[in-house]
Amino acid sequence: MKHISKLLFFLFTYCLMSLLTLAAEEETKPFEVKLSEDGVQRVEVVVDSYSFDPNQIIVAVNKPVEITLKSVTKLVPHNFTLNYPEAGLSIDQDISPGEEAKITFTPTKTGNFEFHCNKKGLFGSHLKKGMKGVLEVRG
């Protein structure tokens, strides 16, 4: 009986820890992009294994956006996919480890548009590991 309660305790603790880890991974980091003097909305996004920071990018509709994707990984290549052609968004950009990639686009519709990394590792897709975010286009 003692064994079982001990086992249950460990099981409970394990579940709690997993839940906490999951909650931490799902944390959103919103960032409202400011319009610069030349009329472009510029933002730098840090690309890591397996996250984008910020992962909630807020921009204004019908104004150009320039995102600098900055990889801080040493080995793992990543990607930025944002595919909603009807909203002016069709991006599929690879980012080599430790490199930077610039993307520019102009969102033509308001709404929330999910972006993600389309790479797959030995243990599953980067998307499943939480490598995603939201572009929030406001009017």
Minimum Å distance from CB 114 to Cu ion?
Answer: 15
Q: For Cu ion, which stretch binds (CB under 5 A), given 6-14, 18-26, 91-99, 112-120?
A: 112-120
Spatial separation of the C-alpha atoms in residues 6 and 12, rounded to whole Å = 10
How long is the chain?
139
Minimum Å distance from CB 118 to Cu ion?
Answer: 8
Residue type, 120: K
Among 69, 117, 134, 137, binds Cu ion (CB under 5 A): 117
User: HSE on the CB side for 9, CA within 13 Å?
Assistant: 6
The residue count for binding Cu ion (CB under 5 A) is: 5
Among 126, 130, 133, 136, binds Cu ion (CB under 5 A): 126
116 binding Cu ion? (CB under 5 A) = no
With residue 71 as reference, give the H or E element that holds it.
Answer: strand 65-71
Which of 111, 118, 135 has the alpha carbon at shortest distance from 41? 135
Q: For Cu ion, which stretch binds (CB under 5 A), given 26-34, 84-92, 103-111, 131-139?
A: 131-139
Minimum Å distance from CB 136 to Cu ion?
Answer: 21
φ and ψ at residue 122, rounded to 5 degrees: -60, -30
* Residues contacting 89, CB < 8 A, separation 6+: 82, 83, 105, 107, 113, 135
Residues of this chain, 70-89, that bind Cu ion according to CB under 5 A: 78
Q: For Cu ion, which stretch binds (CB under 5 A), given 17-25, 56-64, 105-113, 117-125?
A: 117-125
Q: In the complex, which residues of this chain contact Cu ion (CB under 5 A)?
A: 78, 117, 119, 126, 131
